[in-house]
Amino acid sequence: MGISLSGVGSGFDWQSLIDQLTQVETSQRINPLTAQKTKYQDKLTAWQSLGTKLSALQTAVGNLKDTSDFDVFKASLTSSTTTSADSLLSVTPGAGAKAGRYEIIVDHIAKSQKIQSSSVTSQTTDAGWTGTLTLEGNAITLDGKSLQTLRDEINALNTGESASGVTATILQVADNDHRLILTHDDTGAAGMSIVDGSAGSNFSTTLQAGLDAAFSVDGISMTRSSNAINDAIGGLILNLKGGDASTTVTLDVAEDNESIQDKIQAFVDAYNDLSTYISQQSSYDVNNNKAGGVLFGDNVLKSIKTNLQSAFLNAGMFTAGITVDSNNKLTLDSDDLKTALAGDFTGTATLFNTMAQEMYDALDNVTDSIDGTLTLQENSLQASIDRMTDKITSTQTMIDRKMELLRTQYINLDSALTQMQSQQSWLSSQLASLSG
Are residue 287 and residue 348 in the same domain, yes or no?
Answer: yes
- What residues form DSSP beta bridges with 291? 284
Question: Considering 378, 401, 419, which residue would you say is the last residue of a domain?
Answer: 378
Looking at the structure of the chain, the number of domains it has is 3
For residues 234 and 351, state if they share a domain. no
Q: Is the pLDDT assigned to residue 15 strictly greater than 80? A: no
Residue-wise pLDDT tens digits, 216-275? 999 999 999 999 999 999 999 999 999 999 999 999 999 899 999 999 999 999 999 999
* Whether residue 376 has pLDDT greater than 70: yes
What average pLDDT does the segment 399-416 reach?
Answer: 79
CA dihedral 64, 65, 68, 71 (to 10 degrees): 30
In this prediction, residues 380-396 reach a mean pLDDT of: 93
Q: Which domain holds residue 232?
A: 73-110+212-255
Backbone φ and ψ of 291, nearest 5°: -65, 135
Q: What pLDDT was estimated at residue 10?
A: 54
Are residues 319 and 184 part of one domain? Answer: no
Residue 286 has pLDDT above 90, yes or no: no
Q: Same structural domain for residues 102 and 119?
A: no
Q: What is the pTM of this model?
A: 0.71
Asked whether residue 312 is assigned to any structural domain, the reply reads yes
Share of the chain above pLDDT 70, in %: 95
pLDDT confidence tier of residue 328, bands split at 50, 70 and 90: confident
Task: Let me know if residue 4 belongs to a domain.
Answer: no
pLDDT in tens, 38-64: 999 999 999 999 999 999 999 999 999
How far, CA to CA in Å, does 321 sit from each of 63, 66, 330, 339, 354? 18, 19, 10, 9, 16
17 occurs within a structural domain: no
Q: CB-based burial of residue 127 (10 Å sphere; 0-12 exposed, 13-18 middle, 19+ buried)?
A: buried
Q: What confidence category does residue 404 fall into, taking pLDDT thresholds of 50, 70 and 90?
A: confident
Residues 6+ apart with CB under 8 A from 239: 89, 90, 91, 92, 227, 228, 229
Quick one: 129 and 234 in the same domain? no
Q: Is residue 300 part of a domain?
A: yes
Picking from 191, 208, 225, the residue at the C-terminal end of a domain is 208
Does residue 342 lie in a domain region?
yes
Give CA–CA dist 233/252, Å, rounded. Answer: 12
Residue 373 domain-assigned (yes or no): yes
Please report whether residue 197 resides in a domain: yes
Q: Compute the average pLDDT of residues 295-308.
A: 89
Q: Are residues 269 and 371 in the same domain?
A: yes
The pLDDT value recorded for residue 258 is 93
Whether residues 203 and 94 share a domain: the answer is: no
Q: Are both 233 and 191 inside the same structural domain?
A: no
Counting residues of the chain whose pLDDT is more than 90, the rounded percentage is 70
The pLDDT of residue 412 is above 80: no
Give the whole-angstrom CA distance, residue 264 versus residue 63: 9
Give the lowest-confidence range in 6-20, 121-135, 168-182, 333-347: 6-20
Pair 199, 151 in one domain: yes
User: Residue 6: its pLDDT value, please?
Assistant: 36
Please give the pLDDT value at position 314.
84
Same domain for 219 and 201: no
What does the pLDDT average to over 270-296? 85
7 pLDDT band (50/70/90 cuts)?
Answer: very low
pLDDT score at 66:
94
Average pLDDT over residues 392-412: 85
Q: Give residue 5's pLDDT.
A: 33
Q: Please, which contacts does 343-351 make with residues 24 or more away whose CB atoms are closer than 8 Å?
A: 345/70, 345/255, 348/319, 348/320, 349/67, 349/70, 350/67, 351/315, 351/316, 351/317, 351/319, 351/320
Q: Which residues pair with 180 in a beta bridge?
A: 170
Domain C-terminal end among 378, 411, 429: 378
**Res. 304: pLDDT tops 70:** yes
Residues 336 and 276 grouped into a single domain: yes
Quote the CA–CA distance of 328 and 280 in Å, as a whole number.
13
Average pLDDT of the chain, as a whole number: 90
Do 62 and 77 lie in a common domain? no
Residue 170 lies in a domain: yes
